[in-house]
Homo-oligomer: A and B are copies of this chain.
Amino acid sequence: MKLAKIIGTVVATRKDESLVGYKLMIIRRIDGKGEFIDSEEVAVDYVGAGIGEIVLIGQGSAVRVDKTKREAAIDMAIIGIVDTMDI
């Protein structure tokens, strides 16, 4: 998983049917010091996370293992909210 911060939301009215009902968040990856790295990406929220929170990002088929998501065109999801990082 990657570490990221939620920095915004996206509205997309016209989209693949399998994405209807999912919340799309704009995230940006952070390193272990909390500094932004890479550019903005869009992840589906699985855990009820809010803007400003540090989260765990899952990618690829890992985010479609759940029976309810097998047929959703999701390749990136917020799969956890980070309470603390000890480095």
Interface residues of A (CB under 8 A from B): 1-3, 7-16, 18-19, 24, 26, 28-29, 31-32, 37, 39-43, 46-49, 56, 58-66, 70-77, 79-87
Tell me if A41 and B3 are in contact (CB < 8 A).
yes
Check if A40 sits within 8 Å of B32, measured CB to CB: yes
**Chain A facing B: main interface SS:** mixed
Using CB atoms, name the residue of chain B closest to A53.
Answer: B14
Q: How distant is A79 from chain B, measured CB to nearest CB, in Å? A: 4
CB of B1 within 8 A of CB of A75, answer yes
A65 to B61, CA, bound (A): 10
A77-B63 Cα distance, complex, nearest whole Å? 15
Please give, as numbers and ranges, the residues of chain B lying within 8 Å of A48 by CB-CB distance.
14
